[in-house]
Amino acid sequence: MLNKLHGLAKSSVIYGKHAVEEALENGVSIHRILLTDSNKYLLQHIKNYGVPYSFVPPEALNRYSSGNHQGVLALLPAVEYKQWDEVLINSEGEKRVLLLDGITDVRNFGAIARTAKSFDFDLIVVPKSESAFLNGDAIKTSAGALLSLPVARVNHLKDCIYGLKEMGIGIYGLNEKGNDDFSKISHKSCALILGNEQKGIQSGILKLCDAQIRIPMSISFNSLNVSVAAGIGMYEINKKAK
């Protein structure tokens, strides 16, 4: 079964009770598990490994697999997630990190990654829940940037932020209601936080920021797509580093 599992891990889906259980036990990176009500007995096993899950009707699983999925299916990221601290420890010079707090649109995610690669960011960090799927569409939109730019996935962004602060990395959130401008960026090593397309950055995370930066815009129309806002923020950080 394990040899079969390694082959399946190169695709985007693992299905069947035993295959999914073995994937969990062998530490395969899983984006989300979809299961039907008939597989509730798997739930505690899934929770023990901290993998996001959803209950769906059998018809939803049939769209992913025409085989015998046995009521459970695991979606795999197209590329492997990294450990955020290992990436930064092994990177040289000033650190540039992007934290995505609930970016759920795959195209936004890909576009943001493309810009991050262009401005020499070292790492993207996303939460396990409420995050876009790292699939082929995201890679295509990123123009291949996601094949070489490390992406880390964490249980809680707050824990990562505390770790970044211990490394001396400044934490800056883009917030349309913020009172700061880009002149407040004083750290040479920076982490830029972008929030959910509708809700923005969570209030608890905003409180951890060294500055909440507002992008100046026209009073008559003051809304930007999150990938556009990300580009402006990363450009300003890149400009300050020179």
Per-position b or e across 116-128, b if 16+ CB within 10 A of its CB: bbebebbbbbbbb
Mean pLDDT score, 91-118: 95
Global pTM?
0.81
Domain ranges in the chain are 2-75, 84-241
Q: Which fold has domain 84-241?
A: Alpha/beta knot (3.40.1280)
Provide the 3-class DSSP secondary structure of residue 152. Answer: strand
Residue 84 has pLDDT above 50, yes or no: yes
Q: Which of the pair, 120 or 242, is modelled with greater confidence?
A: 120
β-strand partners of 152: 82, 125
Same fold, 2-75 and 84-241: no
pLDDT score for 2: 36
Measured over the CA atoms of residue 33, residue 37, residue 42 and residue 47, the dihedral's sign is positive
Under DSSP, the state recorded for 124 is E
Task: Measure the CA–CA gap between 64 and 67, rounded to whole angstroms.
Answer: 9
pLDDT of residue 70: 86
- Mean pLDDT value across residues 96-121: 96
Give the lowest-confidence range in 28-37, 116-125, 142-151: 28-37
What is the CATH topology of the domain spanning 2-75? 60s Ribosomal Protein L30; Chain: A; (3.30.1330)
Percent of the chain with pLDDT over 90: 53
What is the DSSP track for 84-106? HHHHHHTS-SS-EEEEEES---H
What order do you get walking across the sheet with 32-35 strand by strand? 13-15, 72-75, 32-35, 53-55
Share of the chain above pLDDT 70, in %: 92
Q: Which residue has the tokens 């597989």?
A: 39
- The answer, yes or no, to whether residue 11 has pLDDT greater than 80, is no
DSSP state letter for 28 = -
